[in-house]
């Protein structure tokens, strides 16, 4: 199992008429990983997920799930995948336990194991005590989402694909779903897409950013930070003027770029800096400002760019690339 | 899904009350003016009235409803084949349709209980036309229900599916008859054309069946067209899940 990646996608392309939904998408997901799929609306996340789960054929390219080609053997791939579509459609007139039993039968769980399997997934998703006999139409959104995840878990799949599992949930429910996903860590391969970036950052081992149908970045959030927003970032509050601050840093030989400034009423400047250097940089910045009478340092904090900024930087870069070279080298961006 | 959704029962209640009323009306008519044919034969002659509304009501939700709520997607990700999905949708609707018709058999029995003299003369419970007529219903049901399933498979709106199946059923049942009328009144048709028109005479099939003439041609017509439509539905959901 270690040698075969759970998901391997190569040069996947899907066109709807003249519209190219995804173009030359390639990535791999290893066994036991939790991977987040990020992208603006209409970037092709759902399309990629739908192709992987065998609902929709690709125009060209190949995808494998657990070493089985999706196009050649969709039946076997479907046994290895648990898929929760966007908006999590459920039949409103059924009871939770009835629905899960019905789904388990569809997924080929043998009759004598039915009760046990359904009970297991309901316990994993915390449905067994509270919502077991409730009618799905009356459930709150958080519970509906749990039912969707429980359904994806049925039949012991290797890979779980969830399209926007936390959409429309309140922070408590999001936390609940995050715990649930954390419980699956290591046991299963999980691919999930979301707009809520801190969510992805917290629950995923790796992030794949997709924009305009192409993979623009892939890696852990640390490596992406390194790639798209290099250098150290600081936020400092100073009483004084901007030019003077830049001058002082220059005098100390510090290479500093001021990215953003904000001035409040009582002449306090709030600056966002990017500087190249090692771990001592913070101390050097404090030292540079400390011996000047007309610049008083009020606060200094190192700032780690969050996924949101990485995401914006990555998608912006890919947009610039497409504007610069509309037709040439589409594959190059996909490989990056 | 068919058994737990309210529209099914609405269709059933509508069907049974309408058919009960029609049976009663036929019996009333028979009291006033003597008729040649048996009440059950007359009753089965109006099979098209319930078909027009019951079949669309039973089938319009089957695939269009699943597609519009998105549950068709989740169904497609399970390791079930498309053929199995269509066949189970078809058999669910078909079995229910036949159950409805079988429950109308209660009418002659109720009538026989209240009018023992008529029952003794055998005019209410004559077995031959009942068996023939219900064989016809079972056969034609294959075609009608598969028309409904096909209409439901090509759209995501239940309303459109309902209208499509209603119109198609109308063309299949009344259109065939009208063609027959034209052929009878109009100029001589060539041999193959008149054969074709005869082939499509659904009312003629019913007459034959209730008289005990079980022809293989209608049998072939209903099953082959039904299978063709179900096959097309399978291809449709394969292509646009």
Residue of chain B whose Cα is closest to the Cα of A54: B77
Strand partners, B145: none
Output the pLDDT for position B190.
Answer: 65
Closest CA to A233 of A266, A274, A192: A274
Q: Convert the pLDDT of each residue in A90-133 to its tens digit.
A: 988 888 999 999 999 988 889 899 999 999 888 888 888 888 88
Residue B67 pLDDT > 60, yes or no?
yes
Most confidently modeled range among A169-183, A230-244, B60-74: B60-74
Residues of A with Cβ-Cβ distance to B71 under 8 angstroms: 89-91
pLDDT at A211 over 90: no
- What pLDDT does A334 receive? 41
Share of chain B above pLDDT 90, in %: 25
> B77 — phi, psi (to 5°)?
-85, -5
Q: What is the pLDDT of residue B88?
A: 92
Q: Which of A36-45, A67-76, A298-307 has the lowest mean pLDDT?
A: A298-307
Q: Is residue A165 very low, low, confident or very high in pLDDT (cuts 50, 70, 90)? A: confident
User: Which of A55, A107, A151 is opposite residue B79, by nearest beta carbon?
Assistant: A107
HEC secondary structure over chain A: CCCCCCEEEEEEEEEECCEEEEEEEEEEECCCCEEEEECCCCCCHHHHHHHHCCCCCCCEEEEEECCEECCCCHHHHHHHEEEECCCCCCCCCCEHHHHHHHHHHHCCCCHHHHHHHHHHHHHHCCCCCCCCCCEHHHCCHHHHHHHHHHHHHCCCCCEEEEECCCCCCCHHHHHHHHHHHHHHECCEEEEEECCCHHHHHHHCCEEEEEECCEEEEEECHHHHHHHHCCCEEEEEEEECCHHHHHHHHHHCCCCEEEEEEEECCCCEEEEEEEECCCCCHHHHHHHHHHCCCCCEEEEEEEECCCHHHHHHHHHHHHHHHHHHCCCCCHHHHHHC
Q: Which two tokens stand for residue A211?
A: 């924009």
Share the mean pLDDT of chain B: 84
Complex-level ipTM: 0.77
Nearest by CB to A56, from B4, B80, B241: name it.
B241
- Kindly report, residue by residue over B201-224, the tens digit of the pLDDT: 778 788 788 777 777 888 888 899
Confidence category of residue A277, pLDDT binned at 50, 70, 90:
low
In chain A, residues with a C-beta closer than 8 Å to the C-beta of B78 are 78, 103, 106-107
Cβ–Cβ gap A103/B71 under 8 Å: no
């Amino acid at each position: 199992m270690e040698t075969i990646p759970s998901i391997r996608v190569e040069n996947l392309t899907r066109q709807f008429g003249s519209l190219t939904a995804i173009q030359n998408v390639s990535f791999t997901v290893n066994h036991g990983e939790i991977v987040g799929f990020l992208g603006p609306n209409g970037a092709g996340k759902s399309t990629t997920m739908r192709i992987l789960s065998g609902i929709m054929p690709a125009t060209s390219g190949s995808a494998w799930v657990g070493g089985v080609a999706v196009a050649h053997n969709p039946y076997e791939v479907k046994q290895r995948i648990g898929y929760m579509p966007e908006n999590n459609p459920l039949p409103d007139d059924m009871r939770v336990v009835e629905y899960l039993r019905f789904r388990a039968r569809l997924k080929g769980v043998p009759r004598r194991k039915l009760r046990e399997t359904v009970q297991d997934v309901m316990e994993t998703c915390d449905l067994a005590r509270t919502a077991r006999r409730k009618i799905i139409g009356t459930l709150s959104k958080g519970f509906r989402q749990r039912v969707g995840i429980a359904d994806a878990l049925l039949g012991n799949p290797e890979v779980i694909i969830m399209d926007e599992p936390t959409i429309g949930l309140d922070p408590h429910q999001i936390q609940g779903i995050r715990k649930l996903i954390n419980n699956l860590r290591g046991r299963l391969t999980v691919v999930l897409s979301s707009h809520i970036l801190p969510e992805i950052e917290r629950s995923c081992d790796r992030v794949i950013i997709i924009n305009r149908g192409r993979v623009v970045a892939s890696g852990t959030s640390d490596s992406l930070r390194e790639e798209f927003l290099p250098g150290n970032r600081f936020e400092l509050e100073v009483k004084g003027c901007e030019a003077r601050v830049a001058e002082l840093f220059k005098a100390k030989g510090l290479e500093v770029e001021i990215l953003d400034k904000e001035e409040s009423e009582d002449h306090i400047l709030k600056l966002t800096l990017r500087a190249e250097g090692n771990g001592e940089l913070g101390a050097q910045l404090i030292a540079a400002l400390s011996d000047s009478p007309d610049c008083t340092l009020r606060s200094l904090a190192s700032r780690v760019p969050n996924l949101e900024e990485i995401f914006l930087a990555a998608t912006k870069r890919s947009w610039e690339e497409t504007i610069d070279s509309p037709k040439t080298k589409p594959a190059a961006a996909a490989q990056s | 899904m068919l058994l737990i959704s309210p529209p099914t029962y609405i269709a059933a209640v509508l069907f049974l009350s309408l058919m009960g009323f029609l049976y009663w009306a036929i019996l009333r008519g028979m009291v006033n003016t003597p008729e040649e044919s048996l009440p059950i034969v007359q009753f089965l002659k109006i099979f098209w009235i319930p078909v027009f509304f019951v079949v669309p009501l039973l089938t319009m939700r089957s695939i269009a409803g699943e597609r519009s709520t998105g549950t068709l997607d989740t169904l497609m990700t399970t390791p079930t084949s498309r053929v199995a999905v269509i066949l189970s949708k078809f058999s669910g609707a078909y079995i229910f349709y036949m159950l409805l018709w079988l429950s109308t058999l209660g009418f002659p029995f109720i009538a026989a209980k209240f009018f023992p003299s008529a029952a003794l003369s055998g005019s209410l419970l004559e077995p031959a036309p009942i068996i023939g007529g219900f064989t016809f219903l079972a056969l034609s049901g294959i075609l009608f229900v598969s028309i409904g399933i096909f209409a439901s498979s090509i759209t995501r709106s239940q309303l459109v599916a309902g209208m499509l199946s209603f119109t198609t059923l109308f063309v299949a049942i009344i259109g065939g008859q009208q063609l027959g009328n034209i052929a009878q009144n109009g100029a001589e048709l060539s041999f193959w054309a008149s054969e074709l028109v005869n082939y499509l005479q659904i009312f003629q099939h019913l007459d034959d069946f209730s008289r005990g003439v079980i022809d293989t041609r209608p049998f072939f017509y209903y099953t082959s067209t039904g299978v063709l439509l179900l096959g097309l539905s399978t291809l449709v959901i394969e292509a646009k899940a």
